[in-house]
Amino acid sequence: MQGRFGVFFVLALSLLASESYSDEYHFVDSTFCPLVCDPSEDGREGYVIDILRDALNEHGHTLTFSILPYRRAISMVRNGTADALPAIYHSDAPDLLVGSSVISPGSNQLFMRSDVYRDMGPLVDWSEISLAVVDGYTFNNRALDEHLEKYRAEGSNQVTFVTGKESYERLVELLFRGRVDAIVDDSAFIYHALNKYLNTVVDAPEVSIVNAAFVSSGENVVAYGFVNMDRSLELMSIIDPFVLELYQTGRINDYTSPYGIVIEDGVVMPSD
């Protein structure tokens, strides 16, 4: 009798351990603050990670997150060694599974200094302005992407390609210091970098940065793999309603405002 009880106890512990492991979900991605940040550099994980942690916590689950090169992160979700990417344009990996919610709207914008601002209109003549962008990115705008390819090949100083850490803060500084006429990137990243820059730089120029033109739009979604379908569907059933409720009630800004931005009617803006 005692031996049977011992066997039963070991089996019960094994089942509990198995259930505990299944409740831990592994997310992977590169960093693009304020959506996904490096805590060692920014002091927090980003509002998308904050949202996902709370969504899973409501159901007794835990989230582990690893910062990896973007393409490697996508590959790990494809082959089932990771459960999901927290924020991705679906066009970057159309073979992955996505749910019904958009975790953060995307909007690429052209920014200029207020003292040299002019309305660029819907059709920007990119050859008329000196520009800075993060190297390696494209913007789903054919004219701009072809312009960047041309000047990357020619090595002209008409376009400055920024690389390395704190790329967005460096974009903002280049614009503030008048080294370029304009910068282009997702408004969420620029507003966050602008807020960080103004709070850390003592001698910032007394000008503002303004939105001069819309470049392109997109949607950041959580992307799951097909290999472990049961886990992907479980995650989707938890995350989709949680995210939808945040946008319906306006509680999304409880997560974004600590990062210096607000989202209203699907538009990302600075939080003052």
pLDDT in tens, 111-125: 998 887 766 666 678
CA separation for the pair 131, 259 (Å, rounded)? 26
CA separation for the pair 78, 256 (Å, rounded)? 29
For the cut 70, the answer to whether the pLDDT of residue 108 exceeds it is yes
pLDDT in tens, 247-259: 999 999 999 999 8
With beta carbons less than 8 A apart as the criterion, state whether 120 and 253 touch: no
Percent residues over pLDDT 90 in the chain: 48
Residue 245: the pLDDT is: 97
Residue 202: the pLDDT is: 67
**DSSP character for 102?**
-
CA separation for the pair 56, 243 (Å, rounded)? 11
Which domain, by its residues, includes 165? 106-217
pTM of the predicted model as reported, rounded to 2 decimal places: 0.74
Tell me if 162 is assigned to some domain. yes
Do 114 and 101 reside in the same domain of the chain? Answer: no
Q: Where does a domain end: 196, 217, 238?
A: 217
3-state SS, residue 74: helix
Do 37 and 161 reside in the same domain of the chain? Answer: no
Do 99 and 121 reside in the same domain of the chain? Answer: no
For the cut 90, the answer to whether the pLDDT of residue 11 exceeds it is no
Do 33 and 83 reside in the same domain of the chain? Answer: yes
With beta carbons less than 8 A apart as the criterion, state whether 256 and 271 touch: yes
Helix, strand, coil shares of the chain as percentages rounded to 5? 45, 25, 30
Do 93 and 40 reside in the same domain of the chain? Answer: yes
Tell me whether strands 209-224 and 97-98 are parallel, antiparallel or unpaired. antiparallel
Tell me if 52 is assigned to some domain. yes
Q: Residue 255, Cα to own-chain centre: how many angstroms?
A: 14
CA separation for the pair 263, 247 (Å, rounded)? 9
CA separation for the pair 260, 106 (Å, rounded)? 16
Nearest alpha-carbon partner for 92 in 191, 184, 221: 221
Q: Residue 179, Cα to own-chain centre: how many angstroms?
A: 27
Residue type, 223: A
pLDDT in tens, 157-206: 889 998 877 788 899 999 998 999 999 998 888 988 888 888 887 676 67
Number of structural domains found in the chain: 2
Q: Where does a domain end: 200, 217, 234?
A: 217
